[in-house]
Amino acid sequence: MSSALPDLQKTTIDGLTVSWREAGQGEPLVLVHGIGGYSGSFQRQFASFARDHRVIAWDAPGYGGSDALPTARLTAEGYAASLAALLHKLGVKRPHLVGHSLGSIMIATACHRDLIDSRTMTLLQPVTGSGTLPDSEREPIRLARIADMERLGPKEFAIQRGRTILSPSVSTAVADEAVEVMKVVPKAGYLAAWEMMCRADIFSVLDTKRPVMVVCGADDPVCPPKTARAIADRIPGSVYHCLDGVGHYAAIEAYDRFEKILRDFLRTHRG
């Protein structure tokens, strides 16, 4: 990918540093990465959408240049409030929100709690969270992931896990690009987000006040089509797309197809 990422910018909110990248002018398009990403995950989307949108991608607490949240705020509401505070400080009004994976829980929570008055919401390969599972099911999953990250460290964890969540049909070059993004994720930020994800439940915060699009990959083992379809079915009037030959990183694996459906959706709901 030859296009340069916008420079990282930083500000202080409630005593904590928050970092983000920004480019372009027009209706704001806010990109919220997942547990295995950061603001640089959306390099291809900056290259295409900054031509006609104000594109903003933040680093969630504990990622990139952003400070971690205090323990008491390590909840979906805490992450959502941090995002809302950044957008308020940047003067962003009525944004189009795109949340990838765990980022979908963050933006859905922000909208459900009326922290952000978004124009649209795109749930890109949304995870559901494990908040409704009984402890007997949730705890082995939670502890196994923590043990893997502690044992392997972020880079080796990304190498071993990264390829398992991508489509088997993806090229080596594209797979390498996605894994390189995942390698950047800091251990502490990942584990904090993982704890939040284990307590969250996206079905409890699905929003019906604005247009919603749900996008999945046909080969995604993290958010399989059945899960994405169930989320879409809970939102009356939502738009649903399933991309063939795509795993859990559509923004990299199928950036061109994702750009088309996102552009069509945004065009339909321009201000």
Name all domains of the chain by residue range, CATH numbers in brackets.
9-268 (3.40.50.1820)
pLDDT in tens, the chain (271 residues): 556 899 999 999 999 999 999 999 999 999 999 999 999 999 999 999 999 999 999 999 999 999 999 999 999 999 999 999 999 999 999 999 999 999 999 999 999 999 999 999 999 999 999 999 999 999 999 999 999 999 999 999 999 999 999 999 999 999 999 999 999 999 999 999 999 999 999 999 997 889 999 999 999 999 999 999 999 999 999 999 999 999 999 999 999 999 999 999 999 999 7
Determine the pLDDT at residue 179: 97
- 3-class DSSP assignment, residue 54: strand
What pLDDT sits at residue 4? 83
Strands (DSSP E) contained in 67-175 are 96-100, 120-124
Residue spans of alpha helices (H) in 64-216? 76-89, 102-112, 135-162, 172-183, 187-199
| CB distance 74 to 15 below 8 Å | no
Residue-level pLDDT at 190: 98
The angle subtended at Cα 85 by Cα 82 and Cα 18, nearest 5°, is 60
- Element spanning 2, H or E: none
Q: So what's the pLDDT on residue 135?
A: 95
For 199, the 3-state DSSP assignment is helix
- Residue 136 near residue 127 (C-beta atoms within 8 A): no
Question: In the 8-state DSSP scheme, what is residue 16?
Answer: E
Instruction: Give the per-residue pLDDT at 271.
Output: 76
Mean pLDDT taken over the chain? 97
β-pairing, 9-13 vs 27-32, is unpaired
Q: Where are any strands of DSSP class E within the chain?
A: 9-13, 16-23, 27-32, 53-58, 96-100, 120-124, 212-217, 239-243
The two structure tokens encoding residue 6: 């916008």
